[in-house]
Amino acid sequence: MIFEFLNAGLDVFLSPLALGLTFAGIIVGLVVGAMPGLGPLMGIILLLPVAIGLPPVPAMGFLIAIFVGGSCGGSISAILLRIPGTPLAAATLYDGYPMAQKGRASDAIGIAVASSAIGGLIGGVVLVFCAPILASFAANFAPPEYAMLAIMGLFAIVVISGGSIIKGLLAGSFGLLLATVGTDSFSTGLRFTFGSNNLLNGFHIVAVVVGLFAISEMATQMMKRDLLKIPDVKVARPGLHTIALTLKHYVNLIRSSAIGTFFGAIPGAGGVISSFTSYAVAKATAKPGEDYGEGAEGGVVATEAANNATVGGTLVPTLSLGIPGDASSAMLLGALLILGFIPGPAMFENNPDVVGGIFMVYLASNVFLLIAGIMATPIFVYVLRIPKVYLIPSILLLCSIGTFALQASVFDLQVMLVFGLIGILFRAADYPLAPVVIGMILGPILEANLRRSLLISREGYWIFLDRPVSATLVIINALLLAAMVYLTIKRVRGAKNSELSKGMASHD
Amino acid sequence: MASSRTLNFFALGFLLAVVVTVFWQIGTDLKEQGIASGGPYDNAAAYPRIIAIFVAVLLAFQFGIEILKGKAAPEAEGGQLAEIQPSDLGRAGMILVVFALYLMVLTTIGYHLTTAPLIFAIMWICGMRNALKMVLSSVAIATGFAFVFEVFLNVVLPLGIWDIFIPW
């Protein structure tokens, strides 16, 4: 069954367009990953308007490669500048930067790239084997199971991703409400359109996401005072010998990749948790001579293998169940929906060539990462020297043309600007933005399956408890809800106690 | 950007306005269309109503938390926001204003006449003052993007009322 998918996808994958765009995606991913403030999510968002005009497999190859390259690119700035390009590379600082200070910057980057590629390939093997099995299991799912899965995806992301639970839920619910704007697919009535024809199909997800993330990020960057500064970065040229250096840590590599894949498959956990966890495990099991925190190669191997393996893991629930593991995979899911494919068991049944093509582009993107990462690192280092005064207008322009190109609509640009302002408000008030996107993507799935469940039910909402899998998911959702209540109470009490002790100390 | 009580109340106010809008629309527009009641097929208001009620409950909790936090630590007002100077906020505000103006005139004047001035203005807001460098960079960036999108991706950028385009 597994090889059937790979075989079916081989033809569409072996086209110059798919191969070329996958390679281009790796380059773009490494560039956006290396630039502090951007990262794989922003890369996917910025290039999504370009991708959705392409055939499905080249388009997904381009976006998945940005995800893969971006997950690794953050290590370049972490090692050279002591600024992680993305939060994913935060743990790489511990040993990557000390390695650079000891004159081993090229080795550190080479090890980071090789570990990322090998970790990604291990995650890819898990993806290729597990996604079809999970999709085959989910083939028996009916609307009640899908409705509960959608709720589970949203709850899991809010619980695990940290921050205020209530703010996470509010952001997710805001996304769910945004998804209701437009023509109702059941009654064909118009909801929240305010008489505007532009809103008949609702808000275009790309316009919303570009506004929320990219516009608000550019406004945030404008508040910094290093807009004209040219970062002082020395050119590093990693060689092929760094692959051998990486393979010397094969136990660490396999273990960290397994941790990364596992956390990737859990909605909400993501690369940051997996890279810190694998770093902690690697440090705990280190041999006496390995000085973690002072430039140990194993530290870079652990964090980079884990955060790239996460990508393979996160694609498992995204492709087989239609439940995104994080905001980046939510955007990939959104791209598939725009391209006309509904991720889940039906896609495995009806479009094996697309599924197989996605598997192939994912595996190939990790091979390309190894090639591009080792050969072209000096280019990415030069990119790090570009001052923000040139980057900010370029990114704003890319946002504008990309969003305009979706439907040749200025209304989409206005939507983008409005959601940019909402994004700024949410960032300023510490509301997470990822749940908004995930809510917006899961919203139509949740509503459609909720209403279908009630249509086929003779006992109303009891249908969710009548079916064993659905009942299990209801219990999991109830447990997640209980965890949310517990964590919120704990946080409020903790804050209150610390304020009390502060108050008592000031009285003393 | 850091959190502060005022900003939290702004965000709560915004979400409250969303909830009020949902109920107002259900009570008026959706009711007039006959899709605010009935079974799961016809009732297009049930699902947004459930979500809006859920949001309202969460808002009440968050409001309570903010009040409690405010009583416990009134000095926390401002927090890390105090580190941001008015000039920093001014730059962010100006870029948004300039960008909004750009969007307003884009369809009328067209991409090629509006984009280079937009980039020039952003560079100026960023603090760059070398006019020649700014002019050359803004024209190069605007033309470069137009070339990629028009030639490789077949996007027709806004031509404006004078139908200005570059015959690549």
Best mutation target among A155, A169, A184 (most B Cβ atoms within 10 Å) is: A184
Q: Which amino acid is at A11?
A: D
Residue A298 has pLDDT above 80, yes or no: yes
Q: Which of B56, B82, B108 is the last residue of a domain?
A: B82
Measured between alpha carbons, how far is residue A301 from residues A32, A238, A490 in Å?
Answer: 21, 15, 36
Q: How far apart are CA A73 and CA A299, in angstroms?
A: 17
Give the number of residues written for chain A: 508
Both B29 and B41 in one domain: the answer is yes
Q: What is the pLDDT of residue B77?
A: 47
- B69 lies in the same domain as B125: no
Number of domains in chain B: 2
Which range is least confidently modeled, A149-158, A335-344, A473-482, B135-144? A149-158
Residue that is last in its domain, among B82, B110, B133: B82
Nearest partner of A238 among A89, A75, A91, judged by Cα? A75
Write down the pLDDT at residue A500. 61
- A201 near A182, Cβ under 8 Å? yes
The answer to whether the beta carbons of residues A422 and B11 sit under 8 Å apart is no
Confidence band, pLDDT 50/70/90 cuts, at residue B72: low
CB contact under 8 A, B142 and A397: yes
- State how far the Cα of A335 lies from the Cα of A53, in Å rounded to an integer: 10
Question: Does residue B161 form part of some domain?
Answer: no
* CA nearest to A452, candidates A141, A137, A139: A141
Among the ranges given (A307-316, A345-354, A484-493), the one the predictor scored with the smallest mean pLDDT: A484-493
Q: Are residues B130 and B68 in the same domain?
A: no
Please check whether residues B122 and B72 belong to one and the same domain. Answer: no
Segment A90-144, tens digit of pLDDT = 788 888 888 888 888 889 999 999 999 999 999 999 999 999 999 988 888 889 9
Residue B159 located in a structural domain: no
Q: Decide if A389 and B123 are in contact by the 8 Å CB cutoff.
A: yes
Residue from A167, A188, A217 to probe the interface with B (highest B Cβ count within 10 Å):
A167
Contact with chain A for residue B158, Cβ under 8 A: yes
Torsion sign (Cα): A204, B17, A439, B44: negative
In angstroms, the separation between the Cα of residue A216 and the nearest Cα of chain B is: 9
pLDDT(B78) > 70: no
DSSP B148: I
Task: Tell me whether B128 touches chain A (CB under 8 Å).
Answer: yes
Q: What is the pLDDT of residue A162?
A: 66
Q: Residues with Cβ < 8 Å from A389, sequence gap 6 or more?
A: A227, A228, B123, B126, B127, B128
- Report the C-alpha gap between A21 and A62 in whole angstroms: 5
Contacts of B4 in chain A (CB under 8 A): 428
Cβ-nearest to A417 among B3, B91, B100: B100
Question: What confidence score (pLDDT) does residue A487 get?
Answer: 84
- Kindly state whether residues B92 and B72 are assigned to the same domain: no
Residue of A189, A396, A454 with shortest CB distance to B40: A454
Say if B43 is an interface residue toward chain A (CB within 8 Å): yes
Rounded mean pLDDT of A335-357?
91
Torsion (CA) A19, A21, A23, A27 in degrees, nearest 10: 180
- Rounded to an integer, the average pLDDT of A446-466 is 91
Q: CA of B56: which chain A residue's CA is closest?
A: A170
| Residues A299 and A98 sit within 8 Å (Cβ to Cβ) | no
Q: A386 — alpha (psi -120 to 50), left (phi > 0) or beta?
A: beta
pLDDT at A33: 85
pLDDT digits (tens, 9 = 90+) for A158-202: 776 667 889 999 999 999 999 999 999 999 999 999 999 999 999
Looking at the predicted structure, is the pLDDT value of residue A359 above 50?
yes
Residue A224 to residues A37, A133, B88: CA-CA distances in angstroms? 11, 48, 7
State the Cα–Cα distance between residues B58 and B52, nearest whole angstrom: 10
pLDDT of A403 strictly over 50: yes
Q: What is the pLDDT of residue A178?
A: 96
Query: Mean pLDDT over all residues of chain B?
Result: 88
Give residue A161's pLDDT. Answer: 61
Residues B41, B74 within the same domain: yes
Domain end residue (candidates: B53, B82, B111): B82
Band (pLDDT 50/70/90 cuts) for residue B7 is confident
CA-based nearest residue in chain A for residue B24: A192
- The domain of B63 spans 5-82
Residue B82 has pLDDT above 60, yes or no: no
Residue B168 lies in a domain: no
**Domain coordinates of chain A in residue numbers?**
2-507
Share of chain B above pLDDT 70, in %: 90
Is the pLDDT assigned to residue A17 strictly greater than 90?
yes
Is it the case that residue B65 has pLDDT exceeding 50? yes
Residue B18 and residue B71 in one domain = yes
Chain A residues with CB-CB distance to B103 below 8 A: 400, 410, 413-414, 417
Q: Is the pLDDT of residue B2 over 50?
A: no
pLDDT value at A19 more than 90? yes
pLDDT in tens, B143-168: 999 998 888 878 889 988 888 888 87
Tell me: the pLDDT tens digits for A193-227? Answer: 999 999 999 999 889 988 998 899 889 888 888 88
ipTM, two decimals, is: 0.91
CB contacts, 8 Å: B7 with chain A:
425, 428-429
Is the same domain home to B98 and B69? no
Asked if residue B131 and residue B77 are part of one domain, the reply reads no
User: Among A56-60, A287-291, B108-112, which stretch is predicted with the lowest mean pLDDT?
Assistant: A287-291
Q: Is B70 on the interface with A (CB under 8 A)?
A: no
What is the C-alpha separation between A364 and A485, in angstroms, rounded? 43
CB contact under 8 A, B48 and A184: no
Burial class (CB in 10 A: 0-12, 13-18, 19+), A6: middle
pLDDT of A435 over the 50 cut: yes
Q: Indicate whether B13 belongs to any domain.
A: yes
pTM to 2 decimal places: 0.86
Share of chain B above pLDDT 90, in %: 60
Contact A236, A381 (CB under 8 A): yes
**Residue A97 and residue A300 in contact, taking contact as beta carbons nearer than 8 Å:** no
- Pick from A326-340, A377-391, A488-502, B47-61 the range whose average pLDDT is largest: B47-61
Mean pLDDT within A305-331: 89
Q: What is the pLDDT of residues A26-47, one digit of tens each?
A: 999 998 888 776 788 888 988 8
Which of B11, B128, B156 lies at the smallest CB-CB distance from A426?
B11
Mean pLDDT for B18-39 is 94
For residues B53 and B46, give the distance between their C-alpha atoms in angstroms, rounded to a whole number.
Answer: 11
- pLDDT band for B1, please (50, 70, 90 cuts): very low
Tens-place pLDDT, residues B115-131: 999 999 999 999 999 99
Cβ <8 Å between B65 and A492:
yes
* pLDDT value at A73 more than 90: no
Give the pLDDT mean for A408-426: 92
Q: In the prediction, which pLDDT does A184 show?
A: 94
- Evaluate the CA torsion angle A268, A270, A274, A275 in order and state its sign: negative
CB contact under 8 Å between A392 and B1, yes or no, is no
Residues B77 and B20 in one domain: yes
Q: If you measure CA to CA, which chain A residue comes closest to B15?
A: A174
Compute the 3-state secondary structure of chain B and give helix, strand, coil in percent, each to the nearest 5: 75, 0, 25
Cα–chain center distance at A227: 27
Q: Which residue has the higher pLDDT, A472 or A493?
A: A472
pLDDT of residue A74: 83
